[in-house]
């Protein structure tokens, strides 16, 4: 086949395939046109907003010619309510209608609007680097019209009469003056009517409608001064109040319950400004749909920025869960390339890394402060002080202070003022998510504010000790009769302690009778006792009858019994056992130290980790 230039209609349909791949894309283009039109008619238009407040335009933006797109009688229009009403039927395939109260199109330009590369928002190539409008390519109307039936009614501000234009597959079928309000109404019917292949690949109408609901919510978030509504198959499914308060729109989009969990964020880095809201780390979703990013009020999809947001939450979020965040980035238009994606969904930054870092830093500060840290404070908790001096990641020497700091931390926390004391009620251990066991000695778990190492023996010892105290206060420690009574030989000292100590030993679940000179016949032992070395357990408890408790208020025999009843270092624990152990520990008032005063929990602080890894 010889080379030839494609007929305009074919070229248009090819172009439309890029811009409009599904009904949601058409809705997006039409809503963007409506937003541009509404903002163009209002003097405060196109200024950044911060925490729901519209900022006054900067001097640069007030300068003549700074705003790209002005038309119509600005002053006269600003009295009109700023409204955009969207309607879809059958997921947008049967009908899409977008009605705005914007500046309208002058009657003599109506047909031009549907020509390819016809735009009123750009004049020169340089303008591409100062885009302040959502649209700028002049492709959308032409593309949509090529693959559907379009009816446009519009009246420009200041015009006596409006104009009507109807097209079918891009060909004008009806045109003329019409009376009506200032603004624009565009109705698209039978989208993809002449693109059967596209129709076949579309998802369900319900799925598409869901996308449109999401989309309209996003535009409502970025333009709280505009009142949006959405009708889906005749039902009102979304409405924002307008009026400019971001908080009001947040409640509509996320629901009032979630809004209570949102924390305001604000940050600055060079010419970049970041404002927005992020949910506290306890609130998360199974998808990334709760992350919204706007650049100069343009809703964008950015993998890298989304990743920066997610990273800012680590490790406060459970694996596989995603945060909720709405962020507005403001930066000079010259530093963002908005012309890199067919549907303008993606943008490119001049200083990508700087922007990602700023976003991460801004969110991280707020999120980490918000992470709940009940009861994990000094002296035990801040387990890992920063390595002294600047550590260089790659040098082997950097390993040394790190290890030393770990050891130092354990030592420092091992000498609390009153280790074993049943201290005054302290806040409980936070709920931990077990990750596993290391060295058959420590349970590793993720908590709200870091990684927790739990000494399985001291933890279990504390659990047992509290159990023993509770049982003694009631019917006595549960006892287990031995099928084969055990002969235990005692030292003279132990033998001497038996007389006075017998009631205590019985209360602890031991049953025995003297046998000969210095021996006893052990008939029953505490039910919780490990069955491995019963004789040793008994004699150790007897020894403890004469010793002071390891700390004020600690009962020595109970502590020894607890020790002998607890799992040991070296015991492999099943996931069930780990969960059970952590669950029991979480239920205790006293959980930092075992009865002997050894630490139970050491925490690797999340913020410290981030600093050590130079993430912040
Ligand atoms: P772009 O938005 O990139 O300029 P479009 O094809 O979407 O291109 O629209 C072409 C032109 O039609 C716009 O530049 C604008 O002048 C006009 N237009 C489209 N929709 C509206 C509207 N809702 N209100 C006012 N003018 C509009
Ligand atoms: Mg447009």
pLDDT of 429-486, one tens digit each? 888 999 999 999 999 999 888 999 999 999 999 999 999 999 988 888 999 888 888 8
CA of 188 to the centre of ligand 1 (A): 15
Q: How many angstroms separate the CA atoms of 143 and 133, rounded?
A: 19
Q: Is pLDDT of 400 > 80?
A: no
Residue 593's H or E segment, with its range, is: none
Q: Is pLDDT of 107 > 80?
A: yes
CA of 138 to the centre of ligand 1 (A): 7
Report yes or no: 470 and 588 within 8 Å, Cβ to Cβ. no
Query: Which residues, including other chains, have CB under 8 Å from residue 287's CB and lie 6 or more apart?
Result: 322
pTM over 0.75: no
The DSSP symbol for 30 reads: H
CA of 614 to the centre of ligand 1 (A): 47
Q: How confident is the model at residue 551 (pLDDT cuts 50, 70, 90)?
A: low
Q: Is pLDDT of 46 > 60?
A: no
Structure tokens at 24: 């949601």
Pocket test for ligand 1, best of 27, 45, 113 (most atoms within 8 A of CB): 113
Phi, then psi, of 232 in degrees rounded to 5: -115, 115
Q: Is pLDDT of 410 > 80?
A: no
Q: Is pLDDT of 384 > 60?
A: no
Using a 6 Å cutoff on CB, does residue 225 contact ligand 1? Answer: no
Q: How confident is the model at residue 406 (pLDDT cuts 50, 70, 90)?
A: very low
Q: How many angstroms separate the CA atoms of 177 and 461, rounded?
A: 88
Nearest to 320 by CA among 288, 286, 291: 286
- A 10 A CB-CB count for 242 gives 20
Report yes or no: 98 and 85 within 8 Å, Cβ to Cβ. yes
Give the angle subtended at the CA of 217 by the CAs of 122 and 83, to the nearest 5°: 65
Phi, then psi, of 474 in degrees rounded to 5: -105, -120
- What is the model's pLDDT at position 118? 84
Nearest to 597 by CA among 462, 467, 470, 463: 462
Nearest to 327 by CA among 304, 353, 350, 351: 304
CA of 158 to the centre of ligand 1 (A): 18
Using a 6 Å cutoff on CB, does residue 274 contact ligand 1? Answer: no
Report yes or no: 556 and 549 within 8 Å, Cβ to Cβ. yes
pLDDT digit string (tens) for 190-216? 999 888 777 777 778 888 898 999 999
Q: Report the C-alpha dihedral over residues 536, 540, 542, 545, rounded to 10 degrees.
A: -170
- What is the model's pLDDT at position 503? 92
What protein residues have CB closer than 5 angstroms to ion ligand 2? 33, 135, 140
Least confident of 57-71, 264-278, 318-332: 57-71
Report yes or no: 281 and 323 within 8 Å, Cβ to Cβ. yes
Which ligand 1 atom is nearest residue 141's CA?
6
Phi, then psi, of 560 in degrees rounded to 5: -65, -45
Q: Is pLDDT of 386 > 60?
A: no
Q: Is pLDDT of 412 > 80?
A: no
Q: How many angstroms separate the CA atoms of 238 and 228, rounded?
A: 8
């Amino acid at each position: 086949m010889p080379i030839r230039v494609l007929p305009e209609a074919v070229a248009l349909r090819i172009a439309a395939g890029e811009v409009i791949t599904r009904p949601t894309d058409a809705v997006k283009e039409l809503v963007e046109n409506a937003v541009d039109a509404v903002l163009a008619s209002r003097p405060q238009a196109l200024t950044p907003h911060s925490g729901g407040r519209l900022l006054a335009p900067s001097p640069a933006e007030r300068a003549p010619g700074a705003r790209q797109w002005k038309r119509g009688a600005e002053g006269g229009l600003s009295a009109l309510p700023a409204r955009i009403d969207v309607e879809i039927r059958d997921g947008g395939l049967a009908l899409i209608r977008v009605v705005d109260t914007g500046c309208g199109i002058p009657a003599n330009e109506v047909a031009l609007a549907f020509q390819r590369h016809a735009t009123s928002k750009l004049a020169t190539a340089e303008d591409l680097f100062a885009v302040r409008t959502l649209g700028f390519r002049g492709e959308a109307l032409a593309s949509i019209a090529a693959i559907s039936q379009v009816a446009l009614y519009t009246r420009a501000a200041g015009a006596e009469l409006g104009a009507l234009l109807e097209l079918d597959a891009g060909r004008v079928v009806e045109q003329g003056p019409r009376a009506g309000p200032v603004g624009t109404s565009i109705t698209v019917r039978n989208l993809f009517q002449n693109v059967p292949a596209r129709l076949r690949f579309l998802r369900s109408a319900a799925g598409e409608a869901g996308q449109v609901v999401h989309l309209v919510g996003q535009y409502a978030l970025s333009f709280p001064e505009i009142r949006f509504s959405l009708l889906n198959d005749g039902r009102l499914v979304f409405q924002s109040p307008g009026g400019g308060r971001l908080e009001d729109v947040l409640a509509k989009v996320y629901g009032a319950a979630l809004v209570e969990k949102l924390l305001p964020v604000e940050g600055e880095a060079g010419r970049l400004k970041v404002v927005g809201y992020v949910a506290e780390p306890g609130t998360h979703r199974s998808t990334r749909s709760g992350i919204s990013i706007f650049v100069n009020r343009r809703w964008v999809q950015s993998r890298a920025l989304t990743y920066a947001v997610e990273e800012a939450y680590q490790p406060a979020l459970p694996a596989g869960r995603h945060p909720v965040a709405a962020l507005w980035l403001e930066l000079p238009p010259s530093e963002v390339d908005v012309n890199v994606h067919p549907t303008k969904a993606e943008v490119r930054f001049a200083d990508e890394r700087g922007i990602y870092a700023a976003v991460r830093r801004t969110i991280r500060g707020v999120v980490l402060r918000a992470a709940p840290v009940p009861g994990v404070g000094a002296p035990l908790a801040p387990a890992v002080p920063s390595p002294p001096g600047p550590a260089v990641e790659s040098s082997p020497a950097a390993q040394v202070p790190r290890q030393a700091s770990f050891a130092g931390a354990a030592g420092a926390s091992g000498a609390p003022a009153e280790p074993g004391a049943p201290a005054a009620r302290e806040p409980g251990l936070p709920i931990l998510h077990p990750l596993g066991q290391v060295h058959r000695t420590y349970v590793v778990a993720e908590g709200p504010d870091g990684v927790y190492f739990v000494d399985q023996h001291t933890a279990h010892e504390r659990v047992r000790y509290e159990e023993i105290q509770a049982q003694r206060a009631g019917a006595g420690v549960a006892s287990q009769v031995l099928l084969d009574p055990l002969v235990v030989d005692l030292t003279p000292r132990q033998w001497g302690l038996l007389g006075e100590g017998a009631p205590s030993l019985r209360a602890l679940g031991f049953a025995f009778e003297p046998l000969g000179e210095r021996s006893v016949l052990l008939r029953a032992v505490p039910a919780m006792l490990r069955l491995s070395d019963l004789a040793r357990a008994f004699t150790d408890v007897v020894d403890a009858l004469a010793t002071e408790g390891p700390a004020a208020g600690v009962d020595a025999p109970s502590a020894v019994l607890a020790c002998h009843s607890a799992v040991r270092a070296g015991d492999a624990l099943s996931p069930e056992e780990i969960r059970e152990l952590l669950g029991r520990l979480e239920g205790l008032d006293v959980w930092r130290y075992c009865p002997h005063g050894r630490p139970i929990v050491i925490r690797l602080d999340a913020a410290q980790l981030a600093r050590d890894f130079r993430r912040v």
